[in-house]
Amino acid sequence: MADKYEQVLELAKRRGFLWNSFELYGGTAGFFDYGPLGAMLKRRVENIWRDIFVINEGYYEIEAPTIGIEDIFIASGHVGGFSDPLTECQKCHEDFRADHLVKDIIENPDTLSSEELTDIIGKNNVRCPECGGKLGNVYEFNLMFKTAIGPGGKRIGYLRPETAQGMFVDFPRLVKFYRDHLPFGATQIGKAYRNEISPRQGVIRLREFTQAEAEIFIDPRDKTHPKFKEVADLAMNLYSQNGQVSGETTKMSLGDAVKNGIIAHEFLAYCLAMTYQFLVRVGVSPEKLRFRQHMKDEMAHYAADCWDAEILSDRFGWVEVVGIADRTDFDLKAHAKQSEKELSVYVSYDTPRKVQKFVVKPDMGVLGPMFKGKAGKVANALKALRPEELSGDVIEVTVDGEKIKIDKKSVKFETVTEEIHGENIIPHVIEPSFGIDRITYSLLEHSYFEEETKEKADDEEEENEGKRIVLRLPPEVAPVQAAVLPLLSRDELRKPGNEIVGKLRKAGILVAFDDSGTIGRRYRRNDEIGTPYSITVDYRTLEDDTVTIRDRDTMKQVRAPVSDIEKNVYDLIYRGKSFDDAGKGI
């Protein structure tokens, strides 16, 4: 029996959701095309993400290049850290992590170069742990695609392995755009690239994939969220660090999770809520969704807390689709160091603070002529002294190893009170990072149903069992939103059908017109691609200007007027209008 992945992918290929890329030339692992329906579906998923993060939270979207220069990825750690030193056994051709093999011999093997690792393996006669064979030279396998910028190959570029760096690199501009106020956020939806060693699992692990990421910069001293109250009662499946030790998932409200210290703070919890609402809205089943906290040893050393949204898939088990991390100031600090620019925000205090400050004022009128070229250094040495060191009649400082005595008359000092209005702080970054392809696949799988239908053969008593494949996509994400079907393929029914198509299109609804074959077949075809509503034109339409609307999930029909059909259908799709209110039951 085919498993669900196989069924979903078969349907996805056949009906134009997902295709293997480059199939004409035999295909290449790790790449997928979105067909006509898939591309529309994915776009709708992205637009719901925009609705939540950009429109409702105000985290504006930016668009940075998919190619990045080397500095960016040196700062981010991808040049050094996104690769593994591998060594291959010459006998059994098994690959091993070279740093893992020598970790009993050497203290910090991950700091060594490939050459050094090769050397150590040779000197200590490290053999293949599988067959005892000789190991080959150590080589670095970096998961980034490398390219050259401009002719000559002098400037190295990399295809970005994540969209996040774009927001970090634009940080100084973003601070100004948001008028020097925390918190603020920027988002990006776009392609990222990782040259996976061996991509499997179809659309779950791709070499080119789409991420939707938000980088939200917050004040490290205040990780509350103003809208947290709105989501505090939302209960979801939490698989915390303690839960993973005991193997238990707990359904808990976010308010309680923050109160009990399970989720580090409100802001992170609020991101979990947005994630939950997004995933459920696009069609992921809530009962097949959990949030798993990273274990301490799994979390990056700089991260304060990190949760993955995981979706249960029939074949792959729990699949990570979103990562939500408090990355603290790690990324901004790293880019500040690499670029030698200050990446901070000036934050003013509510009330200016008075600070007692000890100030030394050397009398340069005396010291200048006395020390000439050395005077500046002497003055700086004096300024660095503490009050007790200035108490004697003669003050002694050391400049360039030379002890210099200065009369106390040449140095004044006092304690002054200064008003400080604020300070420069490095914001902390909350990063929700979504794998759009995995989410799109997951919602297809969760929407996929095969139903047994009992049909009575015309004259016979016996019941034939048939199969109905239906994609129960939320109407908002369904690629084709309505089908217009003349009951019979006759001109007198086609014509009003086409008029309805025109009205729906003007209202921005993607509509398909289909008059081929029997009506039942056309309903089934639309069920299979998840079209939520089918509008059927029959002979009564010609009499009283009404049509039937069929609900995909229940196969129920109502009768509704043609006059406001576009508003009716629009409300069904976008406004949550209930189907029973769409017309008279039949």
**Stretch 21-50 residues interacting with RNA (CB under 7 A):** 26-30
When the beta carbons of 403 and 467 are compared against RNA, the nearer one is 467
**One-letter identity of residue 54:** V
**Footprint on residues 392-421 left by RNA (CB under 7 A):** none
Q: Which is nearer to RNA, 47 or 244 (CB)?
A: 244
Question: Which one of 230, 298, 389, 414 is in contact with RNA (CB under 7 A)?
Answer: 298
Quick one: 424 exposed, middle or buried, by C-beta within 10 A (0-12, 13-18, 19+)?
exposed
Q: Is 464 in the site for RNA (CB under 7 A)?
A: yes
Q: Which is nearer to RNA, 25 or 152 (CB)?
A: 25
How many degrees, rounded to 5, is the angle at CA 99 between CA 94 and CA 104? 110
Q: Taking contact as CB under 7 A, which single stretch among the options 218-226, 326-334, 462-470, 575-583 is the one that binds RNA? A: 462-470
Burial class of 107 by CB neighbour count within 10 A (0 to 12, 13 to 18, 19+): exposed
Using CB under 7 A, which of 56, 224, 518, 563 touches RNA? 518
CA 291 to chain CA mean position, Å: 14
Query: Using the rule CB under 7 A, is 299 a contact of RNA?
Result: no
Report, in Å, the least distance between residue 540 CB and RNA.
7
User: In the bound complex, what is the minimum distance in angstroms from residue 187's beta carbon to RNA?
Assistant: 19
Which residue number, 80 or 466, has a Cβ lying nearer to RNA?
466
Residue number, 443 or 493, with CB nearest to RNA:
493
Which tokens sit at 536?
């059927």
The residue type at 413: F
Nearer to RNA, 196 or 418 (CB): 196
| Distance between CA atoms of residues 275 and 308, nearest Å | 10
> Does 314 participate in binding RNA (rule CB under 7 A)?
no
- Structural contact between residues 512 and 523, judged by C-beta atoms closer than 8 angstroms: no
Pick between residue 448 and residue 523 the one whose CB is nearest to RNA: 523
Q: Please tell me the number of Cα atoms within 13 Å of 536 on its side-chain side.
A: 21
What is d(CA 135, CA 24) in angstroms, rounded to the nearest whole number? 39
Q: For residue 262, which amino acid is it?
A: I
Strand arrangement of the beta sheet that strand 511-513 belongs to: 511-513, 482-486, 533-537, 546-551, 557-561, 584-585
Task: Write out the two tokens for 534.
Answer: 């089918």
Stretch that binds RNA, among 104-112, 182-190, 201-209, 569-577 (CB under 7 A): 201-209
Stretch that binds RNA, among 38-46, 235-243, 401-409, 463-471 (CB under 7 A): 463-471
Q: Which stretch binds RNA (CB under 7 A): 39-47, 163-171, 488-496, 575-583?
A: 488-496
Task: Specify the 3-state DSSP secondary structure of 177.
Answer: helix
SS percent in the chain: helix, strand, coil, step 5: 35, 30, 30
Encoded one letter per residue, x for contact with RNA by CB under 7 A and - for no contact, window 242-281 reads ----------------------------------------
Interacting stretch for RNA, rule CB under 7 A, among 9-17, 233-241, 388-396, 569-577? Answer: 9-17
90 interacts with RNA by CB under 7 A: no
E strand intervals along 363-427: 394-399, 402-407, 411-425
Rule CB under 7 A: is residue 82 a binding residue for RNA? yes
Is 94 a residue that touches RNA (CB under 7 A)?
A: yes
d(CA 221, CA 284): 35
| Token duo for residue 358 | 């000890």
User: Is residue 213 a contact point for RNA (CB under 7 A)?
Assistant: no
Q: How far is CA 50 from CA 168, 227, 347, in A?
A: 20, 18, 29
Question: Rounded to whole angstroms, how far apart are CA atoms 580 and 568?
Answer: 12
What is the three-class DSSP state of 250? strand
Closest by alpha carbon to 379, among 356, 357, 406, 401? 406
The dihedrals phi and psi of 462, each to the nearest 5 degrees, come to: -65, 150
Q: How far is the CB of 460 from RNA (least distance, A)?
A: 11
- Interaction pattern, residues 131-170, with RNA; x per rule: CB under 7 A: ------------x---------------------------
CA-derived radius of gyration, the chain: 33
Please report whether residue 202 would count as binding RNA according to CB under 7 A.
yes
Q: Given the structure tokens 């921005």, which residue do they identify?
A: 508
How large is the greatest C-alpha to C-alpha distance in the chain, in angstroms?
121
Q: Which stretch binds RNA (CB under 7 A): 20-28, 36-44, 209-217, 268-276?
A: 20-28
- Contacts with RNA by CB under 7 A: the residue count is 63
Looking up tokens 């016979």 gives 460
**Site for RNA (CB under 7 A): which residue of 44, 205, 265, 446?**
205
**Contact region for RNA (CB under 7 A) — 47-55, 235-243, 250-258, 511-519?**
511-519
Kindly give, in sequence order, each residue whose CB lies less than 8 Å from that of residue 491, ignoring residues fewer than 6 positions away: none
Instruction: Tokens for 508, please give them.
Output: 């921005």
Segment contacting RNA by CB under 7 A, of 39-47, 195-203, 344-352, 393-401: 195-203
- Nearest distance in Å: CB 39, RNA: 18
Which residue lies nearer to RNA by CB, 14 or 361? 14
Instruction: Write down the least CB distance from residue 461 to RNA, Å.
Output: 15
- Which parts of 475-584 fold into alpha helices (H)? 491-506, 519-529, 539-544, 565-574
Beta carbons of 467 and 454 less than 8 angstroms apart? no
Stretch that binds RNA, among 57-65, 343-351, 503-511, 535-543 (CB under 7 A): 535-543
Site for RNA in 442-461 (CB under 7 A): 453, 455
Q: Which CB, 4 or 333, lies closer to RNA?
A: 4
Contact pattern from residue 321 through residue 340 relative to RNA, giving x for each residue in contact according to CB under 7 A and a dash for the rest: --x-----------------
Distances (CA, A) of 259 to 254, 265, 298: 8, 9, 24
Binding residues vs RNA (CB under 7 A): 10, 13-14, 20, 26-30, 82, 84, 88, 92-97, 100, 143, 194, 196-198, 200-202, 205, 298, 308, 315, 320, 323, 453, 455, 464-469, 487-490, 516-521, 523-525, 528, 536, 538-539, 548, 550, 555-557
